[in-house]
Amino acid sequence: MEVAGFLRENPLLDKRIIGDYISNRKHSEILHAFVCSFDFHKIRIDEALRIFLESFRLPGEAGPIALILEEFAAHWSAVNGNPFGNVDAAYILAYQVIMLNVDQHNSNVKKGGNSMTLEALKNNLRGCNNKQDFDPEMLKEIYNAIKYGLGYFFLRIYVLKCLVVYVYPVRCMRCLTSDSIAYTYVSTKPTFSIVQGDKYIRDPPIISETT
């Protein structure tokens, strides 16, 4: 699509505006064309995500981020022969990659303790690959690439203005910034509950799975 090509190839465009535009549900066809213009074949998901996020700035709200990552996960999975249990697994891992990047590198993050460890990453993602675990060696490679800067996103400062809590099924990982709060509950199909201050925008789903 010509519009998607224009958004990718015009270096004078404001990356924040690009992110806001493609994450608008009215422009879903343009978002699809924009994502599909990237060749992610044989590129590991965290590396593909870094390349992808260098072309625009992610919005600060959970809903638009989810919309973009859903398209990204579907395209990455398709061009790589669906290497995970399902597309949702790619989506969850992509979201976790972003949060790991924030945890490791965003100076605005207020941490209650030390940065996330590799074991914590594995625990957060346990059972998220269509009720199976992801390859531990792949997770180790992703973790080291982000921790030591090899997969460090240039757009890291703008990733999220929220606190995101992953629950799968009852574990959680928290990442804080100072602006607002959002809870992301991940079950079989990821859904969102967003909180700003003390105001609930949407209630969280009931998580029934247990370990």
Q: Which of 55, 46, 47, 70 is nearest to 21 (CA)?
A: 55
Q: Which residue in 29, 47, 54, 61 is the catalytic one?
A: 61
- Non-local (6+) Cβ contacts of 138 within 8 A are 44
Active-site annotation holds for 209: no
User: DSSP state, 25?
Assistant: G
* β-pair type (199-200, 181-185): unpaired
Nearby residues of 28 by Cβ (< 8 Å), 6 or more positions away: 67
d(CA 59, CA 57): 6
- C-alpha closest to that of 82 among 40, 144, 123, 47: 40
List, as own/partner pairs, every contact residues 189-196 make where C-beta atoms lie below 8 angstroms and the sequence separation is at least 24, other chains included.
189/88, 190/66, 190/88, 190/91, 190/92, 190/95, 192/62, 192/63, 192/66, 194/61, 194/62, 194/63, 194/162
**Contact 125/139 with Cβ under 8 angstroms?**
yes
Active-site residue list? 61
